[in-house]
Structure 1
């Protein structure tokens, strides 16, 4: 149940949120919002794969 929720969230993240790795964003120069989005996507992806 929990894993399915995170898989659905991961699909939503992929369609809605921007992909900073494809844009070549330098994380040392990223804004706090960009870092928060990056961290959220990383967290959801990790939980979806566990």
Structure 2
């Protein structure tokens, strides 16, 4: 099975608005985790 076709099928299956919210939440979570880890690393380096 072609992964691109499979992804298209999943995106068609999920309502568009819900898909947009999922993408927004994933991006937000990724940024939050990235900033959190960066702050932890900075504190560890400062000690």
Normalised-by-shorter TM-score class:
0.3 to 0.5
TM-score (norm 2): 0.47
Higher relative contact order (CA 8 A, sep 6+): 1
TM-score (norm 1): 0.44
Structure with larger Rg: 2
